[in-house]
Amino acid sequence: MDPALFAQHLLNGVMLGVIYALVAVGFTLFFGVLDVIKFSHGDVVMLGAFTALATSIAASAAGLSSPVILAAMLLAAIVGMALVGMLMARYLVLPLRNAPTLNVLLVTLMAGTVIREGVRLFYPQGSNPKPFPRLLPTGAFEFGAFTLRHDSIVLLVLGVGAIVFVHLLIVRTRLGLAIRAVAQDPETASAMGIPFRGTVLATFAIGSALAALAGVVNGLYYSEVSFNMGLLLGAIGFSAAVIGGLGNVYGAILGGFVFAALQTIGAVALPFASAYKDVFAFGVVILLMAWKPGGLLAERSAERV
């Protein structure tokens, strides 16, 4: 393949990988602390994107400049979704702590549907895809056939920065240690003085804030959001978390990039139409699961959160 074209696909794959990793880390964090799958996570991604969209409309009506609007929408989405995540943990997930896991699955699946349909009904003309504002610099570096858009650089820095932040948070801070301890054994953690509920709420806030960021990055990258974007993103994020080894943060990040690589390969390197890229990617996920049921990083479980 032409090196310039290859670089272009690689860049696109990395961009997708960052978005998927942001979503997958949430799944894996929630599973880590509570052993539950929160199926509304994809819809929280969507709600984050719509929160950002609404904020940007309000902010541009107020006549603010692009960087300020961008900061405002990121802040609104991240803080808003962190709150939504905490509320869901507090009122939907924690009360079911001693119920069968299936109940949590069902409840969060329903909550996701409520969020999705709520946006469709109550956001003005919510059924239609919405144009997402282009707030990032529009120029590009040209290297022959390879174009590096300025906005892609900003988005990559943002996404990778968030992933590094979460890594440092988990490895270096007291909260991170509390999250790791609760993930392994909530009872022991509380015997050591670690508050169980507070740690769970913080974890849900972090995971949901990452989902919001994923939604905003996704919107800025594709310049479009829609009420049902969370369905596919949720399925991909969940797959990525499972491929990597559920409960392992680094597995989720790896899984996000693996899935993006599969999609990119499916779209460009295989002899069928690029519309089949998801069929290809999910098909390979099935094979991966058959080959490594515990996920790619399951053997090295030392970093499990």
Partner 1 sequence: MTHLLEVSGLSVRFGGVRALDGLDLHLDEGETLGLIGPNGSGKTTSFNTITGFVLPAGGTVRFAGEDITAQPPRHVARRGIARTFQRLRLLTELSVFDNLMVGQHLTLDHGIWANLLGRSRLRGAIARQTDEMRTLLRHFSPTLPDRLHEPVSALTMIDRRRVEVCRALARSPRLLLLDEPSAGMTPDETAELMRDLQNVKAARPSLAVILIEHDMAVIERVSARCVVLDYGRKIADGSYAEVTRDPAVRRAYLGEEADA
Q: Which residues bind partner 1 (CB under 8 A)?
A: 165, 168-169, 172-175, 177-178, 180-181, 184-185, 187-196, 301-302, 304
Residue among 134 and 172 whose Cβ is closer to partner 1: 172
Minimum CB distance to partner 1, residue 129 (Å): 37
Q: How far is the CB of 178 from partner 1 (least distance, A)?
A: 7
Coil, helix or strand at residue 99: coil
Q: 146-152: which pairs have CB atoms within 8 A and are 24 or more residues apart?
A: 146/4, 146/5, 146/7, 146/8, 147/8, 148/11, 151/220, 151/221, 152/11, 152/15, 152/221
Of the pair 2, 185, the CB lying nearest partner 1 is at 185
Phi, psi for 90 (deg, rounded to 5): -70, -40
Q: What is the closest distance, in whole angstroms, from the C-beta atom of residue 176 to partner 1 in the complex? A: 8
DSSP H helical ranges for 173-245: 174-184, 186-191, 196-222, 229-244
Reading the block at residue 24, the tokens are 């997958």
Q: Which is nearer to partner 1, 92 or 169 (CB)?
A: 169
DSSP β-bridge partners for residue 141: 148
Residue 76 or residue 189: which is nearer to partner 1 going by CB?
189
* Residue 181 or 284 having the CB closest to partner 1: 181
Please, what is the minimum distance in Å from the beta carbon of residue 108 to partner 1?
26
Q: What CA–CA distance (Å, rounded) separates 192 from 187?
A: 9
Shortest distance (Å) from residue 244 CB to partner 1? 16
